[in-house]
Amino acid sequence: MKVSIIGAGMGGLSAGIALKRLGYEVKVFEKVEAIRPVGAAISLWPNGVKCLNYLGLAEQVAALGGRMDHMAYVDGASGRTMTRFSLQPLVEQAGQRPYPVARAGLQDMLMRAFGPEDIALGMPLVGVEDGASAVTAVFANGQTVASDVLIGADGTHSVVRGHVLGHQPERRYAGYVNWNGLVEIDTAIAPADQWTTFVGEGKRVSVMPVAGNRFYFFFDVPLPKGQANERATYKAILREHFRGWAAPVQTLIERIDENGTNRVEIHDIEPFDTWTRGRVALLGDAAHSTTPDIGQGGCAAMEDAVVLAIALQTNTLGVEDALRRYAQRRVQRASDLVLRARKRCDVTHGKDPAVTQAWYDELWQEDGSNIIRGIYANVQGNPLD
């Protein structure tokens, strides 16, 4: 069976690896000539890590992962710890450590595991023609490729989504801007084995360890959409937004390399339940575009990849039936994650300041059990539970 995957992000490549392992002839077509992920790193929660383990990448992902043993919330203004606790109960409950990983390392690992020789770069898809016996991908350069199945893993601005739905749903601005990047670990900022988050005024500053003695950092600030985005101003803007915050936050701002920092206006898409059309299926952000507030977008894309492979392997009534069964298994879970992230986003970023203040008050009382319960609720229900 021939499979065309559109998009060489973490979803498309995970699906590619899973389907190649079943013996399918898989090609990935990627729009850009050189892949530069939009963020510096991501947290892979136990559900995402288990999917990579399932794809035979357990050792590689563990080598990329930072050692994140503890979690803490810190009051941004005073620098006082609100709560600090071990993540071991989560590891034991889920049966797997979470791993924060640099995106470049993750991308490289997935491309190598899939096989770079089967990735066609500089191939923007512009159209899909679905037929009874094959589906045809149409590329901007006029080239066409026919296959038995086409997977749209082309991210939040998906072209394939437009074909599947017959229209393009609007992306919804979530109300905040995220700056993210990598810095060398410095315990003047936070302990090296801890996911530390400074909170206040609906803003957030977070650091977590990734391999190579680096912290993945991000700053969230509620802001209107469409403000100027000039790299050379990032530090000055962050100094302004975090004026008066505790010393570790100021230290972090001074350490930032503006050239390696990303600025993202955070969006999601209202969940929808049509993920397939004939021989075409959506996967990853193309199917369920989420805010990053529970760190599950990429993990969910990896879950999609595993379920897609199982559906194609185990169903014998034809690919259209197998794709429908894949979607049936995924739509509810992925939609729940999008809506849970949206809810978390609103609490974290001061949509209703009274609700956000109540959350800060709770953090001072927290012993970790409620937060771990919340994280586990996101992990639970994954295909490899």
List residues near ligand FAD by CB under 6 A. 6-12, 29-32, 35, 38-39, 42-43, 48, 124-125, 153-155, 159, 178, 180, 264, 284-286, 292, 295-299, 301
Q: What is the closest distance, in whole angstroms, from the C-beta atom of residue 143 to ligand FAD in the complex?
A: 12
Q: What is the closest distance, in whole angstroms, from the C-beta atom of residue 42 to ligand FAD in the complex?
A: 3
What is the DSSP code string of 326-344?
Answer: HHHHHHHHHHHHHHHHHHH
Separation between Cα atoms, residue 360 and residue 347, nearest integer Å = 10
**Nearest C-alpha neighbor of 292 from the set 269, 272, 270, 268:** 268
**Nearest C-alpha neighbor of 165 from the set 261, 8, 287:** 287
- Exposure class string for 101-130: b at 16+ Cβ within 10 A, else e: bbbebbbebbbebbeeeebeeebebeebee
Q: What is the closest distance, in whole angstroms, from the C-beta atom of residue 78 to ligand FAD in the complex?
A: 27
Q: What is the closest distance, in whole angstroms, from the C-beta atom of residue 216 to ligand FAD in the complex?
A: 8
Q: What is the closest distance, in whole angstroms, from the C-beta atom of residue 361 to ligand FAD in the complex?
A: 26
Nearer to ligand FAD, 15 or 246 (CB): 15
Nearer to ligand FAD, 60 or 180 (CB): 180
Nearer to ligand FAD, 35 or 253 (CB): 35
**Nearest C-alpha neighbor of 70 from the set 178, 190, 183:** 190
Q: What is the closest distance, in whole angstroms, from the C-beta atom of residue 85 to ligand FAD in the complex?
A: 20
Q: What is the closest distance, in whole angstroms, from the C-beta atom of residue 176 to ligand FAD in the complex?
A: 10
Alpha helices in 215-368 (DSSP H): 234-241, 247-255, 297-314, 319-348, 353-365
**Nearest C-alpha neighbor of 287 from the set 295, 296, 276:** 276
For residue 145, list its beta bridge partners: 137
Nearer to ligand FAD, 155 or 209 (CB): 155
Residue 224: strand, helix, or coil: coil
**Residue 251: alpha-carbon gap to chain centroid:** 27
Nearer to ligand FAD, 154 or 201 (CB): 154
- Element housing 263 (H / E): strand 262-268
Nearer to ligand FAD, 246 or 279 (CB): 279
Do residues 4 and 139 touch, judged by C-beta distance below 8 A?
no
Separation between Cα atoms, residue 182 and residue 66, nearest integer Å = 12
Q: What is the closest distance, in whole angstroms, from the C-beta atom of residue 228 to ligand FAD in the complex?
A: 19
Nearer to ligand FAD, 8 or 308 (CB): 8
Nearer to ligand FAD, 125 or 185 (CB): 125
